[in-house]
Structure 1
Amino acid sequence: MSHPAFLSLDGLDGAGKSTQCRLLADWLRTGGHGVTTCTDPGGTPLGAQLRSLVLHYRPEIDRMCEALLFMASRAQLLAEVIRPALASGNIVLSDRFLLANIVYQGHAGGLDVERLWEVGRFAAGGLEPDLTIVLDLPPEQAAQRRGRPADRIEKRDVAYHARLRQGFLAEARRRPERIRVVDAGLPIEVVQQAIRREITSVLGIKGE
């Protein structure tokens, strides 16, 4: 690893990514690490506009267009936030990254998964998280946890969300050196401890 650690958390909406990102960042900072957090898609003014366009455009946006807009948002996030943070020596912790494109538009949306990886890596300039933690939760539980109105993507049918879950698990099986799965149905503190163990085991990073 030629740069400070680049970490991402992913999974279904409602699996607890935002909460776990916050707890993980606090733990790392307590251990003396500089940490930059971000969200993907979004994370920059341009990214926020692109995300809003994808979620609210009518009629429903084409899946390929959706994937490419998210990748454009990510390219700006990398240029504006992630690469400068890594260059400054900070650990970067991203709420979602390229894996979300692969699963949402590929496994669940029907686009070619390998082509999405290829184009996504090009858009990211070859930079990927050193480790991605997938927070695994059945779609029904994730929907109950959201606690807010569903957006356009979240309103898709049960079969779509089942494909999402299976897509995350399939990619974790294919890339165990970069993607690990944690059971998000456990209590928040237990999930956080499991995430910390994975990070320490794979990357040797310790917090407090």
Structure 2
Amino acid sequence: MKAKFITLDGIDGAGKSTNLNTIRLWFEQHQLPVLFTREPGGTAVGEALRQILLDPHTEVNARTETLLMFAARQQHLDSVIKPALAAGTHVVSDRFTDATFAYQGGGRDIPLSDIAVLENWVQQGLHPDLTLLLDIPLTVAQQRLAQNEHPDRFEQLDNDFFERTRQTYLNRAASAPERYRVIQSDQPLTDVAAQISHSLSQLFGYHS
């Protein structure tokens, strides 16, 4: 079986951290080799850039922010993702390039065509086999984020930013339904988990 590349994405507050556990459990149950990683991050360079990008005191313009995201992604691909896939290990990444299109493209108004140029240069044709997009009403996401005593640089942004970001995610999902599974993450956790498990089973050809 060719190793699969799976990404989990969505706006802040959509419940990615909670639902990563569902994915971990699915792989454990099916006894498949898997590597979990995240963006920005996954490498020493990526984690250092993550600290810069999420620090509320960091001041960078939108183009610099976009370039830093892709710098972290290049190292991530070369050092972690590609080697794991080549070795037959499935990879699950908490965020990937969809997040850049949504946050820097939709949220920051960086032209999507510019991001696509960087995507092609850095990824050289590599794309996820499946993207699980957790979608949630903005009001629910904001309620969840309000419980965070120390919001990061992105979590502090306003509703208009997140509305643009969310809409860009949904636009991308609608444009490539064969890759995306949009899951409403304001449902009961058991329902969300069932849909995630079903999507993974479909990808791998299992009956769920």
Query: TM-score if structure 2 supplies the norm length?
Result: 0.91
After TM superposition, give the deviation of residue 59 of structure 1 in Å: 6.0
Aligned ranges 1:131-146 → 2 under 5 Å: 131-146=130-145
Q: How far does the alpha carbon of each residue in 1:152-195 deviate from its partner, in whole angstroms, 9 at most, with x for none?
A: 11111111111111111111111111122100001112101111
After TM superposition, give the deviation of residue 85 of structure 1 in Å: 1.2
AA in 2 matched with 1:185? D
User: Where does the alignment leave 5 or more consecutive residues of structure 1 unmatched?
Assistant: none
Deviates more, 1:97-106 or 1:45-54: 45-54
1:176 aligns with 177
Output the CA distance in 2 between the equivalents of 1:83 and 1:49.
Answer: 20
Instruction: Summarize the Cα distance change of 1:12–1:85 in structure 2 as closer, same or farther, 3 Å threshold.
Output: same
Instruction: Summarize the Cα distance change of 1:205–1:81 in structure 2 as closer, same or farther, 3 Å threshold.
Output: farther
1:204 aligns with 204
Aligned ranges 1:6-45 → 2 under 5 Å: 6-45=5-44
AA in 2 matched with 1:153? F
How many pairs were matched up?
206
- Any conservation in 1 of the 2:15–2:185 contact (CA below 8 Å)? yes
Q: How far does the alpha carbon of each residue in 1:93-114 deviate from its partner, in whole angstroms, 9 at most, with x for none?
A: 1100000000101112111112
- Any conservation in 1 of the 2:106–2:168 contact (CA below 8 Å)? yes
Output the CA distance in 2 between the equivalents of 1:27 and 1:55.
Answer: 30
Q: Secondary structure of 1:9's match?
A: strand
Q: CA RMSD in A?
A: 1.9
Instruction: Summarize the Cα distance change of 1:90–1:152 in structure 2 as closer, same or farther, 3 Å threshold.
Output: same
2:189 aligns with 188
Aligned ranges 1:1-208 → 2 under 5 Å: 3-56=2-55, 58=57, 60-146=59-145, 147-148=147-148, 149-201=150-202, 203-206=203-206
Instruction: Summarize the Cα distance change of 1:166–1:73 in structure 2 as closer, same or farther, 3 Å threshold.
Output: same
AA in 1 matched with 2:90? I
- Any conservation in 2 of the 1:16–1:184 contact (CA below 8 Å)? yes
Q: Secondary structure of 2:105's match?
A: helix
Output the CA distance in 2 between the equivalents of 1:10 and 1:57.
Answer: 22
Deviates more, 1:116-125 or 1:57-66: 57-66
- Any conservation in 1 of the 2:38–2:94 contact (CA below 8 Å)? yes
Instruction: Summarize the Cα distance change of 1:62–1:205 in structure 2 as closer, same or farther, 3 Å threshold.
Output: farther
Output the CA distance in 2 between the equivalents of 1:122 and 1:19.
Answer: 33
After TM superposition, give the deviation of residue 42 of structure 1 in Å: 0.9
Q: How far does the alpha carbon of each residue in 1:113-166 deviate from its partner, in whole angstroms, 9 at most, with x for none?
A: 122122123212321111101100122211222442221111111111111111
